[in-house]
Amino acid sequence: MTDERISERTGRHGPTIRDVARIAGVSIGTASKALNANGRLRQETRDKVMAVAREIGYRPNDMAQSLHRTRSMTVGVLSTDSFGRFTLPIFKALEEEFADQGIAIFMCNATDDPERERQHLDQLLGKRIDGLVVTARRSDKRSPVGPLPPGLPVIYVFSQADDEESLSLVPDDESGARLAVRHLAEVGCTRIACVTGPEHFESVTLRRRGYSQSLREAGLPEHPEYYLPGPWSEAWGREAVGLLFDGKAERPDGLFCGNDQIARGAAEALRERAIDVPGQVAIVGFDNWNVMTDAARPPLSSVDMNLAALGHEAGRLLMDMIGGETIRGLRRLPCTLVVRDSSSR
Amino acid sequence: MTDERISERTGRHGPTIRDVARIAGVSIGTASKALNANGRLRQETRDKVMAVAREIGYRPNDMAQSLHRTRSMTVGVLSTDSFGRFTLPIFKALEEEFADQGIAIFMCNATDDPERERQHLDQLLGKRIDGLVVTARRSDKRSPVGPLPPGLPVIYVFSQADDEESLSLVPDDESGARLAVRHLAEVGCTRIACVTGPEHFESVTLRRRGYSQSLREAGLPEHPEYYLPGPWSEAWGREAVGLLFDGKAERPDGLFCGNDQIARGAAEALRERAIDVPGQVAIVGFDNWNVMTDAARPPLSSVDMNLAALGHEAGRLLMDMIGGETIRGLRRLPCTLVVRDSSSR
């Protein structure tokens, strides 16, 4: 559409919702629903209205509208992760999800500082947000944020509210561990060790449960000395290899590691001992963090927590809640296994 | 202050700005200036008013106010980095800076997608933001965002607008490189190689200039075969060590690397050749990314771009611009050198 045709159709004072409706061939009510991402509409209608709005440069005065509607077209995201590695893919997904609905995101960070969290929350509530996403550095339980106005939709993502009224989305750590250990058994490992993170993380205990279960299912023995919790570091991966291999008659032939840093450290330590990976020992890490998986020698197989999918699902659920649905409980979303050289036999 | 005293002093309908002013012992105008972070006030006065407001639970209706004031108390942050590693510390700093001023941040991401960027910009302008921060995955020049309403304060951070009217803040890559190379010379290196990233990055050409200059200043020769641009990866660091060391009579005794991944790869490759770091070869990386610097053996010295300081400065400058100042041009902020074992002699 040329500029001339637009100006002809939309008048001098900038396009209005009437212009959008007329050009899209829909009623003003339908145009409003589409532009405000509420009500039920067919996707084609919504797309057509949005395309026209974009084309003619329609820009609603959101601020003025928000006083007259119940919605501000904003949501708040409150993080306690300093915008860290785990929450990044979640932010990105939320952002994509909300941008498509014409909703803007207020982003706040309050790393382990309840006072700061309170201050951010006050600010967000002052902005009359339509909904709130709470996310964290680790998926463990936390006390619910608040107090909040009754009815404000809230969702915890990669974080769990210690409160049955809330909705929380986390990765399914236990089944993620099962994917890894089942795979190691399938490629022929019979003595599978687990080198993992600190046990006060819920993810560590859940993954241990998955590890034990999969060993049983595969008919493999579980040696207590093959379960090694420790720090989340490469140095721990290297150290654990020393504990498991040096001077031992019966050595593991498979390693399930709590994260990719541990897995990388383990791979390096095995390399230095001239123990072949994956020939003599197959390794699977956790997180699928490409900085680690790709730089390790060999590249690491790893369990992906699908944090982007978690973020997209959170965005969709929050939209449903903003639309009036009540959704509660704890949902664990599936992980997937990405196989690379470290376990390819 | 007890709840009783608060309710006594503030009445039944929740505290108002009048209550804040009365309790803080200032005029309503002064309270307003302090609460809205505009006008000139002594820091003590501002702090006192904010403390009272927090204590009595004063919460302005920002949305309604914004229609009657010129300010919405929001800024937009537009990233093209998918909330990546370089922009994280910048976000965090901006967030701290603005939160202290009672300003909320709209965060948008538009990775290499001009259509998406336009859409985000429209949305931000619809929210009547007071100012805009543009940030990116790399500090190279980009075409200015827009069109924007005249007078909207905009600042580019870790990104440069290709436009003399704009204000851009980037790290001083050239002087960062000089810090590294001067340090290598000081610890006794006389044959200093530079293993760096792709030359189409401005940072790579600036750092090369700093490298050459520092060699000249230290009276050291610059061997063309000692300058090796390549990918930003550990694998490139390992490969470059092969090129510089294997079968060579005259080997480098210092390596200045373009990032910490290259430096880590180089350190590993030297370790495998039983060449002692820092004894025979001292290494300095760039970025001071602790995931790499701390896991490398030995831990890596590195140049820190001080991205948090960059973010804080950007926040302060944007506040000044929102307050009415005109600020233009390109500012390069200093890097610092963090010395660890890889160059400690």
pLDDT (tens digit per residue) in A286-309: 999 999 999 999 999 999 999 999
Residue B68 has a CB neighbour count (10 Å cut-off) of 6
Which residues in chain B have Cβ-Cβ distances shorter than 8 Å to A61?
126, 128
Window from A213-222, B132-141, B282-291 with minimum mean pLDDT: B132-141
Distance CA A36, CA A29 (A): 10
Residue of chain B whose alpha carbon sits nearest to that of A91: B83
Asked if A123 and B99 come within 8 Å (Cβ–Cβ), the reply is: yes
A46-69 pLDDT per residue, tens = 888 888 887 777 766 554 444 445
pLDDT given for residue A340 in this prediction: 98
Q: Check pLDDT > 70 for residue A34.
A: yes
* Residue B109 burial (C-beta neighbours within 10 Å; 0-12, 13-18, 19+): buried
Question: How distant is the Cα of A318 from the closest Cα of chain B, in angstroms?
Answer: 18
Task: Tell me which of A108, A239, A261 to substitute to probe the interface with B (most B C-beta atoms closer than 10 Å).
Answer: A108
Residue A59 has its nearest CB partner, among B91, B122, B291, at B122
Q: Is the pLDDT of residue A85 over 80?
A: no
Alpha carbon separation from A188 to A182, A192, A279, A280, B102 (Å, rounded): 10, 10, 10, 10, 59
Query: How many CB atoms within 10 Å of residue A227?
Result: 15
Question: What average pLDDT does range B297-303 have in this prediction?
Answer: 97
A69-171+307-333: CATH superfamily: Response regulator (3.40.50.2300)
Residue B11 reports pLDDT greater than 70: no
Residue B96: exposure state from Cβ atoms within 10 A (0-12, 13-18, ≥19): middle
Window from A91-95, A231-235, B221-225, B303-307 with minimum mean pLDDT = A91-95
Residue with tokens 């831990």: B299
pLDDT above 70 covers a percentage of chain A that reads 91
Structural fold of domain B68-171+307-333? Rossmann fold (3.40.50)
**Best B71, B107, B300 residue to mutate vs chain A (most A CBs within 10 Å):** B107
Chain segment A138-173, per-residue pLDDT in tens: 888 888 888 888 889 999 999 999 988 899 999 999
pLDDT over 80 at B12, yes or no: no
B103/chain A closest Cα distance in angstroms: 8
The CATH number of B3-60, from 1.10.150.20, 3.40.50.1820, 1.10.260.40, 3.40.50.300, is 1.10.260.40
A80 and chain B in contact, CB less than 8 A: no
With cut-offs at 50, 70 and 90, classify the pLDDT of residue A37: low
CB-nearest to A109 from B92, B120, B234 is: B92
CA distance B298 to chain A (A): 12
> From the list B109, B126, B235, which residue is nearest A95 (CB)?
B109
Please indicate if any CB of chain B lies within 8 Å of the CB of A35.
no
Cβ neighbours of A60 in B, within 8 Å: 126
With cut-offs at 50, 70 and 90, classify the pLDDT of residue A36: confident
Distance from CA of A54 to the nearest CA of B (A): 8
Strongest mean pLDDT among A61-75, A79-93, A194-208: A194-208
The domain limits of chain B are: 3-60, 68-171+307-333, 173-305+338-343
N-to-C CA span, chain B:
58
Domains A69-171+307-333 and A173-305+338-343 share a fold: yes
Task: Provide mean pLDDT across the span A115-120.
Answer: 86
Residue at A63: amino acid letter: M
- Confidence (pLDDT) at B223: 94
Average pLDDT, chain A: 88
Pair A278, A345: CB distance under 8 Å = yes
Among A44-48, B7-11, B198-202, which is the least confidently predicted range?
B7-11
Averaged pLDDT of chain B:
88
Contact check, Cβ <8 Å, B291/A295: no
The residue with greater pLDDT, A119 or A315, is A315
- pLDDT grade, residue B141 (50/70/90)? confident
Q: Per residue in A235-268, pLDDT tens?
A: 999 999 999 999 999 999 999 999 999 999 999 9
Q: What is the pLDDT of residue A4?
A: 37
Chain A residue with CA closest to B54: the answer is A119
Percent of chain B with pLDDT over 70: 91
Residue A102 touches chain B, beta carbons under 8 Å: yes
CATH 3.40.1440.10 fits B173-305+338-343, yes or no: no
pLDDT tens for residues B37-66?
666 778 788 888 888 887 787 766 544 444
Question: Minimal Cα–Cα distance from B26 to chain A, Å?
Answer: 23
ipTM over 0.85 threshold: no
Q: Which of residues 272-301 of B touch A (CB under 8 A)?
A: 291, 295
- Interface size A-B, in CB pairs within 8 Å, comes to 114
What is the pLDDT at residue B334?
97
- Judged by CB atoms closer than 8 Å, whether chains meet at B59 and A119 is answered as no
Q: Extract the tokens encoding B334.
A: 């200093």
Q: Indicate the pLDDT class of residue A10, thresholds 50, 70 and 90.
A: very low
Q: Which amino acid is at B209?
A: R
CA-to-CA distance for A268 and A31, rounded, in angstroms? Answer: 60
- The reply to whether B113 touches chain A by the CB within 8 Å rule is no
Structure tokens at A257: 């590691």
Q: Taking residues A215-235, what's their average pLDDT?
A: 96
Give the whole-angstrom CA distance, residue B50 versus residue B34: 7
* Burial classification of residue B219, based on how many CB atoms lie within 10 Å of its CB (0-12 exposed, 13-18 middle, 19 or more buried): exposed
| Chain B residues within 8 A of A115 when measuring between CB atoms | none
Task: Return all residues near B58 (Cβ < 8 A) that are at least 6 apart.
Answer: B14, B15, B16, B17, B19, B20, B35, B52
> Are A127 and B74 an interchain contact pair (Cβ–Cβ within 8 Å)?
yes
Cβ–Cβ contact A1 with B under 8 A: no
pLDDT score at B59: 67
A311-335 pLDDT tens trace: 999 999 999 999 889 999 999 999 9
Residues forming a β-bridge with B283: B255
Beta strand spans in chain B (E):
74-79, 104-109, 131-135, 141-142, 154-157, 160-161, 167-171, 192-196, 227-229, 254-257, 282-286, 301-304, 329-333, 336-338
- Who wins on pLDDT, A15 or B305? B305
Looking only at the bridges linking them, the beta strands covering B301-304 and B336-338 are antiparallel
Cβ contacts of B150 within 8 Å, gap of 6 or more: none
Is the pLDDT confidence value at B88 over 90?
no
